[in-house]
Structure 1
Amino acid sequence: MGRQRPGAPTLEEVAALAGVGRGTVSRVINDAAGVKDSTRRAVQRAIEELGYVPNLAARSLAGRRADAVALVMTEPDWRQFGEPFFSEIVQSVGDALTDTKVQLLLTLVRTDAERQRLVEYARGGRVDGVMLMSVHAGDALPDMLAEVGLPTVLLGRRSGDESVTYVDADNVGGARSAVAHLLNRGRRAVATITGPLDMYVAQCRLRGYREAMERAGVEARRSWVAEGDFSQDSGHRAMAELLERSPEIDAVFAASDTMAAAALHTLRAAGRRVPEDVAVIGFDDFPLARRTDPQLTTVRQPLEEIGRTMVRLLLEEMEDSAVAWRHVILRTELVLRDSA
């Protein structure tokens, strides 16, 4: 059930100022019939004077819906929205909603002010649920949405103790299988380009790398780890850094296809052959992986299934607010091509 934040005007205060009952205020808010024009104007004046924002509970009591959900990217860098991951997720979520009456709204939230605006927008009943992607550790937005009773589903999670419903890929297992493949092919100086380590997805892929190295009895040297941010520029930068620090490396596991493709270019510019001198594996299996030279061995995460599952869980929570949060982790698959 939604509730007003501390200090916010209440439905009862609007009713008292307008000189009407609580039920009348609810009918005005939900544009119901049977309210005199003079009464409607009095309630609207009271709402404006108090700055009242109708909460989700008041809207649900009248059985009204916005028939809209928001897909929110919580990423401070606008450029990240151009990465293939986001377009793939938008397409899969949109496809999953095709046969419903629900409108999909896309929005980008970068600052605390934008977080608060989104919450106020949601409290006004303009959307029935929210899907969040690219959530960094410590982001309060999922909790803010839970506070107002809005059904919310995360793509990924903020930590291993996530309390909000989420859908995720098996990032640890996927990374572990990629690095194990490199080690099984005789590579021993295996480096990694991580994602931004304030994101749990990047932490998990790094953990999978380390677990595979440990299981094979190979020391994962600190100089073999370079941090990226899933972008092309960071892939170039991290690969150059690895070559400068550790010219002996004979394999690289990159935590995204975008960074892996950039690493291929940097290796070629440095005179390293792929896979003869340095084998490369990415993560995602975007169409990009089939356009690189050589084609990219990668870990496929089921983005279409992720999008469908997010939509299914969100619609179920919208139908029944008593549904407990769910955590869904989907399998990944190592796809072998020419780069490793």
Structure 2
Amino acid sequence: MNASPPRSLRQVPGRPSPTLEDLALAAGVSRSTASRAINGGDRVSPEAQAAVDRAVVSLGYIPNRAARSLVTRRTSSIALVIPEPDVRVMMDPFFAVVITGITEALRETDVQLVLLMSRTDDDSARTLRYLRGGHVDGAIVVSHHKADSWARSLSETGLPTIFIGRPWDTAFDVTYVDTDNEGGGRIAARHLSGIGRRRLATVAGPADMTAAVDRLRGWQAGLREAGLPEGPVVHADFTTDGAAAAARRLLAEHPDIDGIFAASDLMALGVMEAIQAAGRSVPGDIALMGYDNHAVAETAATPLTTITQPMVEMAVKAGTMLLEEIEAPGSHPEPVIYSTELVERASTSVAPTASAAKA
């Protein structure tokens, strides 16, 4: 076998990249052996593998990924499916955090991330056709809704899939990464009742999303455990404007409220806006809590008490689990649930004002 490639084969500026034939010649092996060696195939002796590895380095050889995909049936790409309107994806920092986490999971690999946003029925059908067409090796789905059929549809394709957030129907062969949303809701109720607030309400998330439903369930259970009524509930989407509108209705119908739990930090910002517009203060008149512990919670005009949701860690885990599922089809990792914690800030730091206490 050749100890080093002929000088004429070495990659130099202005010359075409070395071919598989060049690699085989430099390694002193057949073309088929060189192909098996770079594609991780079997029936390659340790000596031949070592020779090909040396030739790859010395030539600066870059495999033809299109050709490799014909052998491995891999595309070296995964999809992130977000069943939400484009405008929400672009405006909500939650999705930027998810993308950051998944990208981190892929950092040491050659796998690329493909972003697919599909909210309408037509978009969903088109996205599903793309996923079924062999364009990606797996998919991560986040921010799904009850009417979405992603769990069933992707299970039927056999495409490795991980959900961020518990899917509505866990009977299908998909797994997920989530946070203890119900436990987080309980923590919120325990905290607000524990600081002396007694007339409590919540601006809950969409009733067609499992995270919102679980947070509301935990909140109501926590109020019962504290010996308090479940209190008023208004629903909004996970946006600042939607929560502000819902909070205005809530305050008009229940002016005696002295504590509010919002289902996300972005929603809490909208609630804070509505409270201030009504001539009331946070936390003097109304203690306010969010959920997520986004950066916006700490930088709000009145920094928000909130419940942690380790989204970067969850997204990294989802990406890692998907890569494992792709490498070992059918391994089907068990769901991973992250615990929640209270982060206390100024929005719940003082007792009710005298006027609020008499309301």
- Relative to the length of structure 1, the TM-score reads 0.79
Between 322-331 and 163-172, report the one with greater CA deviation.
322-331
TM alignment of 1:134-149, pairs within 5 A? 134-149=143-158
Q: Is 1:226 paired with 2:226?
A: no
Aligned residue for 2:347, secondary structure, equals: coil
Match of 1:128 among 123, 137, 157: 137
Q: Which amino acid aligns with 1:175?
A: G
Q: 1 CA distance for matches of 2:130 and 2:334?
A: 25
Aligned residue for 1:127, secondary structure, equals: coil
Aligned residue for 2:290, secondary structure, equals: strand
Aligned residue for 1:280, secondary structure, equals: strand
Aligned residue for 2:110, secondary structure, equals: coil
Identify the residue that residue 44 of structure 2 maps to in structure 1.
none
Q: Is 1:301 paired with 2:312?
A: no
Q: 2 CA distance for matches of 1:202 and 1:66?
A: 35
Q: Is 1:318 paired with 2:326?
A: yes
Match of 1:94 among 95, 99, 103: 103
Q: Deviation at 1:325?
A: 4.8
Contact 1:175 1:208 (8 Å CA) reproduced: yes
Listed as ranges, the gaps of 5+ residues in structure 2 are 1-67, 349-359
Q: Deviation at 1:118?
A: 2.2
Contact 1:283 1:299 (8 Å CA) reproduced: yes
Q: Is 1:150 paired with 2:147?
A: no
Contact 2:292 2:308 (8 Å CA) reproduced: yes
Aligned residue for 2:72, secondary structure, equals: coil
Identify the residue that residue 74 of structure 2 maps to in structure 1.
65
Q: 1:171 to 1:276 in 2, by over 3 A?
A: same
Q: 1 CA distance for matches of 2:261 and 2:142?
A: 23
Q: Deviation at 1:112?
A: 2.7
Contact 2:76 2:137 (8 Å CA) reproduced: yes
Q: Deviation at 1:157?
A: 2.1
Cα deviation per residue 1:196-215 (whole Å; 9 max; x = unaligned)? 00111110010011011100
Aligned residue for 1:284, secondary structure, equals: coil
Contact 1:135 1:157 (8 Å CA) reproduced: no
Aligned residue for 1:261, secondary structure, equals: helix
Identify the residue that residue 185 of structure 2 maps to in structure 1.
175
Q: 2 CA distance for matches of 1:161 and 1:107?
A: 23
Q: Deviation at 1:162?
A: 5.0
Tell me which stretches of 4 or more aligned residues in structure 1 moved more than 4 Å. Answer: 59-62
TM alignment of 1:326-337, pairs within 5 A? 326-337=334-345
Q: Deviation at 1:300?
A: 1.1
Match of 2:262 among 247, 251, 254: 254
Listed as ranges, the gaps of 5+ residues in structure 1 are 1-58
Cα deviation per residue 1:175-198 (whole Å; 9 max; x = unaligned)? 110111000111011110000001
Contact 2:151 2:169 (8 Å CA) reproduced: no
Q: Is 1:287 paired with 2:317?
A: no
Q: 2 CA distance for matches of 1:267 and 1:165?
A: 40
Larger radius of gyration: 2
Q: 1 CA distance for matches of 2:217 and 2:293?
A: 20
Q: Deviation at 1:263?
A: 1.0
Q: Which amino acid aligns with 1:104?
A: L
Cα deviation per residue 1:136-174 (whole Å; 9 max; x = unaligned)? 113112221221210001111232645321111110101
Q: 1 CA distance for matches of 2:120 and 2:333?
A: 26
Q: 2 CA distance for matches of 1:325 and 1:309?
A: 11
Q: Is 1:264 paired with 2:279?
A: no
Q: 2 CA distance for matches of 1:201 and 1:160?
A: 13
Identify the residue that residue 166 of structure 1 maps to in structure 2.
176
- What fraction of aligned residue pairs are identical, expressed as a percent? 42
Q: 1 CA distance for matches of 2:70 and 2:153?
A: 21
Identify the residue that residue 83 of structure 1 maps to in structure 2.
92
Q: Which amino acid aligns with 1:173?
A: G
